Structure 1
Amino acid sequence: MRIIKSILIAFSMYSRIPVPQFKWEEEEYSHAITFLPLIGMVIGGLEIGLWFLCCRFDVPVFVTSLLLCLVPVVITGGFHLDGYMDVCDALSSYSGRERSLEIMKDPHIGAFAVIGFARYSLLFILGAYLLAYAGAGDTDYMGIYLFALLFVFVRALCGVLSLVLPKAKSDGMLSREAGKTGSADFMFLTFLASVSGLFMIYINLMAGALAFLALIIFCFYYAYLCNKKFGGVTGDTAGMFVARGELIGLLVLAVCLFVVRL
Protein backbone atom coordinates (compact mmCIF):
# COMPACT_ATOMS: atom_id res chain seq x y z
CA MET A 1 0.00 0.00 0.00
CA ARG A 2 2.88 2.36 0.81
CA ILE A 3 4.42 1.76 -2.62
CA ILE A 4 1.11 2.54 -4.33
CA LYS A 5 0.84 5.79 -2.38
CA SER A 6 4.40 6.73 -3.38
CA ILE A 7 3.52 6.08 -7.02
CA LEU A 8 0.40 8.24 -6.75
CA ILE A 9 2.45 11.01 -5.11
CA ALA A 10 4.98 10.79 -7.96
CA PHE A 11 2.21 11.22 -10.53
CA SER A 12 0.74 14.09 -8.54
CA MET A 13 4.10 15.86 -8.29
CA TYR A 14 5.62 15.22 -11.69
CA SER A 15 2.56 15.17 -13.94
CA ARG A 16 -0.88 16.65 -14.44
CA ILE A 17 -2.52 13.24 -14.52
CA PRO A 18 -5.41 13.23 -12.00
CA VAL A 19 -4.85 10.87 -9.03
CA PRO A 20 -6.80 10.25 -5.82
CA GLN A 21 -6.06 12.82 -3.13
CA PHE A 22 -4.88 11.76 0.33
CA LYS A 23 -2.63 12.96 3.12
CA TRP A 24 1.04 12.66 2.18
CA GLU A 25 3.16 10.93 4.79
CA GLU A 26 6.86 11.78 4.87
CA GLU A 27 7.90 8.15 4.32
CA GLU A 28 5.79 7.91 1.16
CA TYR A 29 6.70 11.37 -0.11
CA SER A 30 10.43 10.76 0.24
CA HIS A 31 10.32 7.84 -2.23
CA ALA A 32 8.38 9.67 -4.95
CA ILE A 33 11.42 10.29 -7.15
CA THR A 34 11.95 6.53 -7.43
CA PHE A 35 8.85 6.33 -9.58
CA LEU A 36 9.64 9.31 -11.81
CA PRO A 37 10.32 6.98 -14.81
CA LEU A 38 6.72 5.76 -14.66
CA ILE A 39 5.61 9.18 -15.93
CA GLY A 40 8.06 8.63 -18.78
CA MET A 41 6.32 5.34 -19.57
CA VAL A 42 2.97 7.12 -19.83
CA ILE A 43 4.43 9.82 -22.08
CA GLY A 44 6.14 7.23 -24.25
CA GLY A 45 2.97 5.18 -24.61
CA LEU A 46 0.99 8.26 -25.62
CA GLU A 47 3.66 9.22 -28.17
CA ILE A 48 3.37 5.78 -29.79
CA GLY A 49 -0.43 5.99 -29.84
CA LEU A 50 -0.34 9.50 -31.27
CA TRP A 51 2.09 8.42 -33.98
CA PHE A 52 -0.19 5.56 -34.99
CA LEU A 53 -3.20 7.89 -35.25
CA CYS A 54 -1.26 10.49 -37.26
CA CYS A 55 -0.12 7.82 -39.71
CA ARG A 56 -3.61 6.34 -39.89
CA PHE A 57 -5.20 9.68 -40.80
CA ASP A 58 -2.30 11.01 -42.95
CA VAL A 59 -1.60 13.99 -40.70
CA PRO A 60 1.09 16.26 -42.25
CA VAL A 61 4.60 15.66 -40.94
CA PHE A 62 5.00 19.14 -39.45
CA VAL A 63 1.70 18.90 -37.58
CA THR A 64 2.67 15.44 -36.35
CA SER A 65 5.99 16.76 -35.07
CA LEU A 66 4.27 19.59 -33.18
CA LEU A 67 1.85 17.13 -31.59
CA LEU A 68 4.75 14.92 -30.53
CA CYS A 69 6.32 17.96 -28.85
CA LEU A 70 3.12 18.82 -27.02
CA VAL A 71 2.59 15.43 -25.36
CA PRO A 72 5.29 15.74 -22.66
CA VAL A 73 4.32 19.36 -21.97
CA VAL A 74 0.64 18.48 -21.55
CA ILE A 75 1.37 15.49 -19.33
CA THR A 76 3.91 17.23 -17.08
CA GLY A 77 2.47 20.72 -17.25
CA GLY A 78 5.93 22.01 -18.13
CA PHE A 79 7.22 20.96 -14.69
CA HIS A 80 10.74 20.17 -15.89
CA LEU A 81 10.88 23.13 -18.25
CA ASP A 82 10.32 25.41 -15.27
CA GLY A 83 13.48 24.04 -13.67
CA TYR A 84 15.35 24.33 -16.95
CA MET A 85 14.43 28.00 -17.26
CA ASP A 86 15.45 28.73 -13.67
CA VAL A 87 18.85 27.14 -14.30
CA CYS A 88 19.23 29.17 -17.53
CA ASP A 89 18.75 32.36 -15.51
CA ALA A 90 21.21 31.25 -12.83
CA LEU A 91 23.93 30.17 -15.26
CA SER A 92 23.58 33.32 -17.36
CA SER A 93 24.03 35.53 -14.32
CA TYR A 94 27.65 34.37 -13.87
CA SER A 95 27.12 34.83 -10.14
CA GLY A 96 28.58 32.95 -7.20
CA ARG A 97 27.07 29.81 -5.71
CA GLU A 98 24.77 31.44 -3.16
CA ARG A 99 23.49 34.07 -5.56
CA SER A 100 22.86 31.42 -8.23
CA LEU A 101 20.76 29.42 -5.79
CA GLU A 102 18.79 32.55 -4.91
CA ILE A 103 18.12 33.23 -8.59
CA MET A 104 16.78 29.71 -9.11
CA LYS A 105 14.51 30.14 -6.10
CA ASP A 106 13.15 33.48 -7.35
CA PRO A 107 9.64 32.94 -8.82
CA HIS A 108 10.13 35.72 -11.36
CA ILE A 109 11.26 34.91 -14.89
CA GLY A 110 14.35 36.50 -16.39
CA ALA A 111 15.27 37.39 -19.96
CA PHE A 112 17.80 34.58 -20.22
CA ALA A 113 15.16 32.06 -19.17
CA VAL A 114 12.94 33.22 -22.05
CA ILE A 115 15.84 33.07 -24.50
CA GLY A 116 16.78 29.60 -23.24
CA PHE A 117 13.21 28.38 -23.56
CA ALA A 118 12.90 29.74 -27.10
CA ARG A 119 16.16 28.07 -28.12
CA TYR A 120 15.13 24.82 -26.49
CA SER A 121 11.68 24.83 -28.12
CA LEU A 122 13.03 25.45 -31.61
CA LEU A 123 15.60 22.67 -31.26
CA PHE A 124 13.02 20.25 -29.89
CA ILE A 125 10.62 20.99 -32.76
CA LEU A 126 13.50 20.56 -35.22
CA GLY A 127 14.38 17.18 -33.71
CA ALA A 128 10.75 16.04 -33.69
CA TYR A 129 10.33 17.10 -37.32
CA LEU A 130 13.41 15.18 -38.48
CA LEU A 131 12.27 12.16 -36.51
CA ALA A 132 8.76 12.32 -37.98
CA TYR A 133 10.02 12.99 -41.50
CA ALA A 134 12.31 9.96 -41.41
CA GLY A 135 9.40 7.64 -40.66
CA ALA A 136 6.43 9.43 -42.24
CA GLY A 137 3.50 7.09 -42.81
CA ASP A 138 5.14 4.06 -41.18
CA THR A 139 2.94 2.81 -38.33
CA ASP A 140 5.70 0.42 -37.22
CA TYR A 141 8.45 3.07 -37.31
CA MET A 142 11.32 2.10 -34.99
CA GLY A 143 12.13 5.77 -34.40
CA ILE A 144 8.95 6.35 -32.42
CA TYR A 145 9.77 3.41 -30.15
CA LEU A 146 13.23 4.84 -29.54
CA PHE A 147 11.67 8.23 -28.79
CA ALA A 148 9.20 6.64 -26.37
CA LEU A 149 11.95 4.79 -24.49
CA LEU A 150 13.92 8.02 -24.24
CA PHE A 151 11.40 9.48 -21.77
CA VAL A 152 11.89 6.51 -19.45
CA PHE A 153 15.68 6.39 -19.83
CA VAL A 154 16.23 10.08 -19.10
CA ARG A 155 13.98 10.06 -16.03
CA ALA A 156 15.62 6.92 -14.66
CA LEU A 157 19.05 8.53 -15.07
CA CYS A 158 17.74 11.67 -13.36
CA GLY A 159 16.50 9.59 -10.46
CA VAL A 160 19.83 7.81 -10.06
CA LEU A 161 21.80 11.05 -10.13
CA SER A 162 19.39 12.69 -7.69
CA LEU A 163 20.09 9.90 -5.22
CA VAL A 164 23.86 9.66 -5.54
CA LEU A 165 24.97 13.27 -6.08
CA PRO A 166 25.30 15.70 -3.15
CA LYS A 167 22.40 18.08 -2.60
CA ALA A 168 22.99 21.82 -2.83
CA LYS A 169 20.45 22.50 -0.06
CA SER A 170 19.69 20.16 2.81
CA ASP A 171 16.20 21.65 3.15
CA GLY A 172 15.47 21.80 -0.57
CA MET A 173 12.71 20.04 -2.46
CA LEU A 174 15.01 17.39 -3.91
CA SER A 175 16.48 16.60 -0.49
CA ARG A 176 12.99 15.97 0.86
CA GLU A 177 12.03 13.84 -2.14
CA ALA A 178 15.10 11.63 -1.83
CA GLY A 179 15.50 11.94 1.92
CA LYS A 180 14.70 8.35 2.91
CA THR A 181 15.59 6.48 -0.25
CA GLY A 182 17.90 3.50 0.02
CA SER A 183 19.53 0.72 -1.96
CA ALA A 184 16.17 -0.62 -3.20
CA ASP A 185 15.31 2.74 -4.77
CA PHE A 186 18.74 2.96 -6.37
CA MET A 187 18.50 -0.59 -7.75
CA PHE A 188 15.00 0.01 -9.15
CA LEU A 189 16.05 3.19 -10.96
CA THR A 190 19.27 1.59 -12.21
CA PHE A 191 17.27 -1.38 -13.50
CA LEU A 192 14.87 0.87 -15.42
CA ALA A 193 17.74 2.92 -16.84
CA SER A 194 19.58 -0.22 -17.94
CA VAL A 195 16.56 -1.92 -19.48
CA SER A 196 15.31 1.16 -21.35
CA GLY A 197 18.83 2.02 -22.55
CA LEU A 198 19.55 -1.52 -23.74
CA PHE A 199 16.19 -1.71 -25.50
CA MET A 200 17.08 1.46 -27.39
CA ILE A 201 20.30 -0.17 -28.56
CA TYR A 202 18.44 -3.38 -29.43
CA ILE A 203 15.89 -1.55 -31.56
CA ASN A 204 18.55 0.29 -33.56
CA LEU A 205 22.21 -0.33 -32.84
CA MET A 206 23.62 2.91 -34.25
CA ALA A 207 20.96 5.40 -33.18
CA GLY A 208 20.29 3.72 -29.84
CA ALA A 209 23.96 3.36 -28.93
CA LEU A 210 24.81 6.94 -29.88
CA ALA A 211 21.88 8.33 -27.89
CA PHE A 212 22.85 6.12 -24.95
CA LEU A 213 26.47 7.30 -25.09
CA ALA A 214 25.49 10.96 -25.48
CA LEU A 215 23.29 10.82 -22.40
CA ILE A 216 25.90 9.03 -20.29
CA ILE A 217 28.39 11.76 -21.21
CA PHE A 218 25.74 14.34 -20.32
CA CYS A 219 25.42 12.70 -16.87
CA PHE A 220 29.09 13.40 -16.16
CA TYR A 221 28.75 16.97 -17.45
CA TYR A 222 25.66 17.50 -15.30
CA ALA A 223 27.44 16.25 -12.16
CA TYR A 224 30.41 18.53 -12.87
CA LEU A 225 28.21 21.56 -13.60
CA CYS A 226 26.05 21.15 -10.50
CA ASN A 227 29.01 20.67 -8.21
CA LYS A 228 30.91 23.65 -9.62
CA LYS A 229 28.05 26.16 -9.91
CA PHE A 230 25.63 25.15 -7.17
CA GLY A 231 27.49 22.88 -4.79
CA GLY A 232 25.20 19.98 -5.64
CA VAL A 233 21.90 19.14 -7.27
CA THR A 234 18.50 20.75 -6.65
CA GLY A 235 14.96 20.24 -7.86
CA ASP A 236 15.57 22.85 -10.57
CA THR A 237 18.76 21.17 -11.81
CA ALA A 238 16.90 17.85 -11.92
CA GLY A 239 14.26 19.50 -14.10
CA MET A 240 17.02 20.88 -16.31
CA PHE A 241 18.53 17.39 -16.60
CA VAL A 242 15.24 15.89 -17.79
CA ALA A 243 14.54 18.70 -20.27
CA ARG A 244 18.03 18.87 -21.70
CA GLY A 245 18.46 15.09 -21.64
CA GLU A 246 15.31 14.62 -23.69
CA LEU A 247 16.53 17.23 -26.16
CA ILE A 248 19.98 15.67 -26.53
CA GLY A 249 18.55 12.19 -26.97
CA LEU A 250 15.95 13.38 -29.48
CA LEU A 251 18.48 15.27 -31.61
CA VAL A 252 20.86 12.30 -31.71
CA LEU A 253 18.07 9.88 -32.64
CA ALA A 254 16.57 12.24 -35.21
CA VAL A 255 19.86 13.00 -36.98
CA CYS A 256 20.83 9.32 -37.09
CA LEU A 257 17.49 8.16 -38.50
CA PHE A 258 17.28 11.08 -40.92
CA VAL A 259 20.78 10.38 -42.29
CA VAL A 260 19.96 6.66 -42.69
CA ARG A 261 16.78 7.57 -44.59
CA LEU A 262 18.84 9.65 -47.03
Structure 2
Amino acid sequence: MNFLKSIAVAFSMYSRIPMPRFEWGSDDMKYHLIFFPWVGAVIGALEYGWYILSKSYSIENIVFTIIAMVIPIIITGGFHLDGFMDTSDALSSWGDKEKRLAILKDSHVGAFAIIHILILGLILFAAIYSLNSDCFIAWCFSFFIARIISGICVVKNKKAKTEGLLSTESNTADDKAVFVWLAVQFVICCILVNYLFKVQLTVMLLALLLSLAYYLHTAKSKFGGITGDLAGWFVCIAETLMAMALAIFSYL
Protein backbone atom coordinates (compact mmCIF):
# COMPACT_ATOMS: atom_id res chain seq x y z
CA MET A 1 0.00 0.00 0.00
CA ASN A 2 2.84 2.42 0.87
CA PHE A 3 4.46 1.50 -2.45
CA LEU A 4 1.34 2.45 -4.37
CA LYS A 5 0.87 5.62 -2.34
CA SER A 6 4.43 6.71 -3.10
CA ILE A 7 3.77 6.28 -6.82
CA ALA A 8 0.55 8.29 -6.54
CA VAL A 9 2.32 11.07 -4.62
CA ALA A 10 5.14 11.27 -7.19
CA PHE A 11 2.79 11.46 -10.17
CA SER A 12 0.43 13.86 -8.38
CA MET A 13 3.26 16.26 -7.57
CA TYR A 14 5.22 16.16 -10.80
CA SER A 15 2.63 15.46 -13.46
CA ARG A 16 -0.94 16.12 -14.49
CA ILE A 17 -1.71 12.42 -14.86
CA PRO A 18 -4.84 11.68 -12.78
CA MET A 19 -4.09 9.79 -9.57
CA PRO A 20 -6.27 8.52 -6.69
CA ARG A 21 -6.95 11.17 -4.07
CA PHE A 22 -6.00 10.57 -0.45
CA GLU A 23 -4.59 12.51 2.50
CA TRP A 24 -0.80 12.46 2.35
CA GLY A 25 1.26 11.64 5.43
CA SER A 26 4.99 11.82 6.05
CA ASP A 27 5.31 8.08 5.36
CA ASP A 28 3.85 8.60 1.89
CA MET A 29 6.59 11.17 1.16
CA LYS A 30 9.52 9.00 2.26
CA TYR A 31 10.00 7.18 -1.01
CA HIS A 32 8.09 9.21 -3.60
CA LEU A 33 11.29 10.59 -5.16
CA ILE A 34 12.18 7.04 -6.20
CA PHE A 35 9.26 7.21 -8.64
CA PHE A 36 9.89 10.78 -9.81
CA PRO A 37 11.90 9.54 -12.85
CA TRP A 38 8.92 7.45 -13.98
CA VAL A 39 7.12 10.64 -14.91
CA GLY A 40 10.00 11.07 -17.34
CA ALA A 41 9.56 7.46 -18.44
CA VAL A 42 5.95 8.20 -19.38
CA ILE A 43 7.06 11.27 -21.34
CA GLY A 44 9.74 9.24 -23.11
CA ALA A 45 7.28 6.48 -23.99
CA LEU A 46 4.83 9.01 -25.43
CA GLU A 47 7.62 10.66 -27.40
CA TYR A 48 8.57 7.29 -28.87
CA GLY A 49 4.93 6.52 -29.63
CA TRP A 50 4.61 9.87 -31.38
CA TYR A 51 7.75 9.08 -33.38
CA ILE A 52 6.32 5.72 -34.55
CA LEU A 53 3.00 7.37 -35.41
CA SER A 54 4.65 10.18 -37.37
CA LYS A 55 6.74 7.72 -39.36
CA SER A 56 3.71 5.56 -40.11
CA TYR A 57 1.70 8.49 -41.47
CA SER A 58 4.60 10.50 -42.96
CA ILE A 59 3.88 13.54 -40.78
CA GLU A 60 5.88 16.65 -41.69
CA ASN A 61 9.02 17.14 -39.60
CA ILE A 62 7.99 20.61 -38.41
CA VAL A 63 4.67 19.27 -37.09
CA PHE A 64 6.47 16.31 -35.52
CA THR A 65 8.91 18.67 -33.78
CA ILE A 66 6.21 20.95 -32.38
CA ILE A 67 4.20 18.06 -30.93
CA ALA A 68 7.39 16.51 -29.52
CA MET A 69 8.01 19.78 -27.67
CA VAL A 70 4.45 19.96 -26.38
CA ILE A 71 4.23 16.41 -24.98
CA PRO A 72 6.36 17.09 -21.85
CA ILE A 73 4.42 20.28 -21.13
CA ILE A 74 1.09 18.44 -21.32
CA ILE A 75 2.29 15.66 -18.99
CA THR A 76 3.94 17.93 -16.40
CA GLY A 77 1.65 20.93 -16.74
CA GLY A 78 4.74 23.10 -17.24
CA PHE A 79 5.91 22.31 -13.69
CA HIS A 80 9.63 22.44 -14.52
CA LEU A 81 9.25 25.33 -16.96
CA ASP A 82 7.84 27.40 -14.12
CA GLY A 83 11.03 26.78 -12.16
CA PHE A 84 13.12 27.58 -15.22
CA MET A 85 11.39 30.93 -15.67
CA ASP A 86 11.60 31.90 -12.00
CA THR A 87 15.29 31.00 -11.91
CA SER A 88 15.94 32.94 -15.12
CA ASP A 89 14.43 36.06 -13.55
CA ALA A 90 16.46 35.57 -10.38
CA LEU A 91 19.75 35.06 -12.21
CA SER A 92 19.11 38.11 -14.38
CA SER A 93 18.45 40.40 -11.42
CA TRP A 94 22.15 40.81 -10.53
CA GLY A 95 21.06 41.14 -6.92
CA ASP A 96 22.51 39.41 -3.88
CA LYS A 97 21.56 35.94 -2.72
CA GLU A 98 18.64 37.16 -0.60
CA LYS A 99 17.16 39.11 -3.51
CA ARG A 100 17.50 36.14 -5.85
CA LEU A 101 15.72 33.89 -3.36
CA ALA A 102 12.99 36.51 -2.95
CA ILE A 103 12.49 36.62 -6.73
CA LEU A 104 12.07 32.83 -6.78
CA LYS A 105 9.13 33.23 -4.41
CA ASP A 106 7.54 36.01 -6.48
CA SER A 107 4.62 34.70 -8.56
CA HIS A 108 5.05 37.42 -11.20
CA VAL A 109 6.85 36.71 -14.48
CA GLY A 110 9.58 39.12 -15.55
CA ALA A 111 10.85 40.07 -18.99
CA PHE A 112 13.99 37.95 -18.66
CA ALA A 113 11.92 34.86 -17.96
CA ILE A 114 10.03 35.37 -21.23
CA ILE A 115 13.25 36.00 -23.15
CA HIS A 116 14.96 32.93 -21.73
CA ILE A 117 12.00 30.60 -22.27
CA LEU A 118 11.79 31.73 -25.91
CA ILE A 119 15.52 31.09 -26.38
CA LEU A 120 15.24 27.69 -24.73
CA GLY A 121 12.25 26.81 -26.92
CA LEU A 122 13.99 27.87 -30.13
CA ILE A 123 17.12 25.92 -29.26
CA LEU A 124 15.09 22.83 -28.38
CA PHE A 125 13.05 23.16 -31.58
CA ALA A 126 16.20 23.35 -33.69
CA ALA A 127 17.71 20.39 -31.85
CA ILE A 128 14.69 18.09 -32.18
CA TYR A 129 14.22 19.10 -35.81
CA SER A 130 17.82 18.05 -36.49
CA LEU A 131 17.79 14.67 -34.73
CA ASN A 132 18.07 11.55 -36.83
CA SER A 133 15.99 8.50 -35.92
CA ASP A 134 18.48 6.82 -33.56
CA CYS A 135 19.30 10.08 -31.79
CA PHE A 136 15.65 10.95 -31.26
CA ILE A 137 14.93 7.53 -29.74
CA ALA A 138 17.99 7.89 -27.52
CA TRP A 139 16.75 11.36 -26.47
CA CYS A 140 13.50 9.75 -25.29
CA PHE A 141 15.52 8.38 -22.38
CA SER A 142 16.73 11.85 -21.39
CA PHE A 143 13.50 12.61 -19.51
CA PHE A 144 14.07 9.59 -17.26
CA ILE A 145 17.79 10.24 -16.77
CA ALA A 146 17.44 13.97 -16.02
CA ARG A 147 14.89 13.28 -13.29
CA ILE A 148 17.07 10.61 -11.70
CA ILE A 149 19.94 13.07 -11.35
CA SER A 150 17.58 15.79 -10.14
CA GLY A 151 16.24 13.46 -7.45
CA ILE A 152 19.75 12.51 -6.32
CA CYS A 153 20.67 16.17 -6.05
CA VAL A 154 17.64 16.79 -3.83
CA VAL A 155 18.74 14.24 -1.24
CA LYS A 156 22.49 14.83 -1.49
CA ASN A 157 22.95 18.60 -1.69
CA LYS A 158 22.50 21.58 0.60
CA LYS A 159 19.16 23.37 0.38
CA ALA A 160 19.04 27.14 -0.02
CA LYS A 161 15.89 27.45 2.11
CA THR A 162 14.51 25.71 5.17
CA GLU A 163 10.94 26.03 3.93
CA GLY A 164 9.20 25.21 0.67
CA LEU A 165 8.35 22.08 -1.29
CA LEU A 166 11.93 20.95 -1.85
CA SER A 167 12.82 21.29 1.82
CA THR A 168 9.72 19.33 2.80
CA GLU A 169 10.59 16.58 0.32
CA SER A 170 14.15 16.38 1.61
CA ASN A 171 13.12 16.35 5.27
CA THR A 172 10.54 13.59 4.82
CA ALA A 173 12.48 11.44 2.35
CA ASP A 174 14.52 8.42 3.37
CA ASP A 175 17.71 9.83 1.86
CA LYS A 176 19.72 6.61 1.83
CA ALA A 177 16.98 4.48 0.29
CA VAL A 178 16.08 7.14 -2.27
CA PHE A 179 19.71 7.57 -3.31
CA VAL A 180 20.31 3.82 -3.66
CA TRP A 181 17.16 3.19 -5.71
CA LEU A 182 17.73 6.20 -7.95
CA ALA A 183 21.33 5.09 -8.53
CA VAL A 184 20.13 1.57 -9.40
CA GLN A 185 17.64 3.00 -11.89
CA PHE A 186 20.37 5.15 -13.43
CA VAL A 187 22.70 2.18 -13.90
CA ILE A 188 19.95 -0.01 -15.39
CA CYS A 189 18.86 2.75 -17.76
CA CYS A 190 22.44 3.37 -18.90
CA ILE A 191 22.98 -0.36 -19.51
CA LEU A 192 19.84 -0.48 -21.65
CA VAL A 193 20.68 2.64 -23.65
CA ASN A 194 24.28 1.47 -24.04
CA TYR A 195 23.01 -1.78 -25.55
CA LEU A 196 20.80 0.12 -28.00
CA PHE A 197 22.76 3.32 -28.68
CA LYS A 198 26.27 3.15 -27.28
CA VAL A 199 27.72 6.28 -28.87
CA GLN A 200 24.56 8.32 -28.34
CA LEU A 201 24.65 7.43 -24.63
CA THR A 202 28.17 8.80 -24.35
CA VAL A 203 27.08 12.03 -26.03
CA MET A 204 24.08 12.34 -23.71
CA LEU A 205 26.11 11.68 -20.55
CA LEU A 206 28.68 14.30 -21.50
CA ALA A 207 25.90 16.86 -21.97
CA LEU A 208 24.30 15.74 -18.70
CA LEU A 209 27.59 16.12 -16.84
CA LEU A 210 28.00 19.63 -18.23
CA SER A 211 24.48 20.64 -17.19
CA LEU A 212 24.96 19.09 -13.74
CA ALA A 213 28.22 20.95 -13.14
CA TYR A 214 26.58 24.23 -14.21
CA TYR A 215 23.56 23.51 -12.00
CA LEU A 216 25.56 22.78 -8.86
CA HIS A 217 27.91 25.73 -9.42
CA THR A 218 24.98 28.10 -9.98
CA ALA A 219 23.07 26.79 -6.96
CA LYS A 220 26.06 27.13 -4.65
CA SER A 221 27.43 30.45 -5.88
CA LYS A 222 24.19 32.31 -6.62
CA PHE A 223 21.66 30.89 -4.15
CA GLY A 224 23.60 29.14 -1.38
CA GLY A 225 22.04 25.79 -2.23
CA ILE A 226 19.37 24.16 -4.37
CA THR A 227 15.68 25.03 -4.42
CA GLY A 228 12.62 23.55 -6.11
CA ASP A 229 12.77 26.18 -8.84
CA LEU A 230 16.43 25.45 -9.46
CA ALA A 231 15.66 21.74 -9.68
CA GLY A 232 13.09 22.46 -12.40
CA TRP A 233 15.57 24.76 -14.14
CA PHE A 234 18.11 21.93 -14.16
CA VAL A 235 15.66 19.43 -15.67
CA CYS A 236 14.90 21.84 -18.54
CA ILE A 237 18.58 22.64 -19.11
CA ALA A 238 19.62 18.97 -19.00
CA GLU A 239 16.95 17.79 -21.45
CA THR A 240 17.77 20.62 -23.86
CA LEU A 241 21.54 20.16 -23.69
CA MET A 242 21.18 16.43 -24.31
CA ALA A 243 19.01 17.19 -27.35
CA MET A 244 21.58 19.75 -28.57
CA ALA A 245 24.46 17.31 -28.16
CA LEU A 246 22.59 14.60 -30.03
CA ALA A 247 21.67 17.05 -32.78
CA ILE A 248 25.32 17.95 -33.28
CA PHE A 249 26.16 14.25 -33.34
CA SER A 250 23.44 13.73 -35.94
CA TYR A 251 25.09 16.24 -38.26
CA LEU A 252 28.56 14.83 -37.66
Structure 1 and Structure 2 fold alike (TM over 0.5): yes
Q: Residue 103 in 1 paired to residue 103 in 2?
A: yes
Kindly provide the amino acid, as one letter, of the partner of residue 31 in structure 2. H
Q: Which moves more between the two structures, 250-259 or 100-109?
A: 250-259
Q: 1:190 is matched with which residue: 160, 177, 183?
A: 183
Q: 1:202 to 1:144 in 2, by over 3 A?
A: same
Q: Residue 13 in 1 paired to residue 5 in 2?
A: no
CA contact (8 A) 1:89 1:103 kept: yes
Which residue matches 2:162?
170
Give the Cα separation in 2 of the matches to 1:193 and 1:107.
34
Q: Residue 152 in 1 paired to residue 144 in 2?
A: yes
Give the Cα separation in 2 of the matches to 1:256 and 1:225.
27
Superposed displacement of residue 206, structure 1: 2.6
Kindly provide the amino acid, as one letter, of the partner of residue 25 in structure 2. E
Residue pairs, 1:88-167, within 5 angstroms: 88-131=88-131, 134-135=132-133, 142-167=134-159
Superposed displacement of residue 184, structure 1: 1.3
CA contact (8 A) 1:152 1:192 kept: no
Normalising by structure 1, report the TM-score: 0.92
Q: 2:229 is matched with which residue: 218, 229, 236?
A: 236
Kindly provide the amino acid, as one letter, of the partner of residue 86 in structure 1. D
Q: 1:217 is matched with which residue: 210, 213, 219?
A: 210
Give the Cα separation in 2 of the matches to 1:228 and 1:172.
20
Give the Cα separation in 2 of the matches to 1:97 and 1:91.
10
Give the Cα separation in 2 of the matches to 1:60 and 1:70.
16
Superposed displacement of residue 30, structure 1: 4.3
What RMSD in Å do the two structures reach over aligned CA positions? Answer: 1.3
Give deviations 1:212-249, integer Å, cap 9, x for gaps: 02212321221111011111101000000111100001
SS at match of 2:36: helix
Q: 2:243 is matched with which residue: 250, 253, 261?
A: 250
Superposed displacement of residue 182, structure 1: 2.4
Give deviations 1:53-105, integer Å, cap 9, x for gaps: 11101101111111111110110011000000000000000111111000011
Give the Cα separation in 1 of the matches to 2:31 and 2:224.
23
Give the Cα separation in 1 of the matches to 2:174 and 2:222.
25
Which residue matches 1:139?
none
Give the Cα separation in 1 of the matches to 2:229 and 2:212.
15
Normalising by structure 2, report the TM-score: 0.95
Kindly provide the amino acid, as one letter, of the partner of residue 192 in structure 1. Q
SS at match of 1:178: helix
Which residue matches 1:138?
none
Which residue matches 2:51?
51
Aligned positions, number:
251
Give the Cα separation in 2 of the matches to 1:244 and 1:48.
21
CA contact (8 A) 2:34 2:182 kept: yes
Give the Cα separation in 2 of the matches to 1:8 and 1:249.
28
SS at match of 1:232: coil
Give the Cα separation in 2 of the matches to 1:144 and 1:251.
11
Superposed displacement of residue 109, structure 1: 0.3
